[in-house]
Amino acid sequence: MDLGGINWLIIDVVAVIILGLVIAWVVIRTRSKGRSTSNEITERATHELYEDEERRRRDGVDGL
């Protein structure tokens, strides 16, 4: 008995289900992490970096 077609069907169905579950997990995990907190941290770090760079430029130690 030739089960090649059934094996490919099982592989295709299982692969699609696994891929769908992985994509759903990533989307749920990304949305639940709280983007506002991450954005606030990034914004604060960028602001501090710009302030430090401006201070070094005013003090003349920026290397330019």
Strand, helix or coil at 35? helix
Strand, helix or coil at 47? helix
Token reading at 40: 């606030």
Domain identity same for 38 and 64: yes
Q: Structural domain of residue 56, as residue ranges?
A: 34-64
**pLDDT higher than 80, residue 44:** yes
Domain identity same for 49 and 25: no
CB neighbours of 57 closer than 8 A, spacing ≥ 6? Answer: 64
**pLDDT higher than 70, residue 36:** no
Instruction: Give percent of the chain above pLDDT 70.
Output: 83
Token reading at 30: 């990304």
Domain identity same for 24 and 38: no
Could you report the per-residue pLDDT of 2-30, keeping only the tens digit for each? Answer: 677 888 888 889 999 999 999 999 988 88
What CA–CA distance (Å, rounded) separates 50 from 61?
15
Higher-confidence position of 23 and 58: 23
How many domains is the chain partitioned into structurally?
2
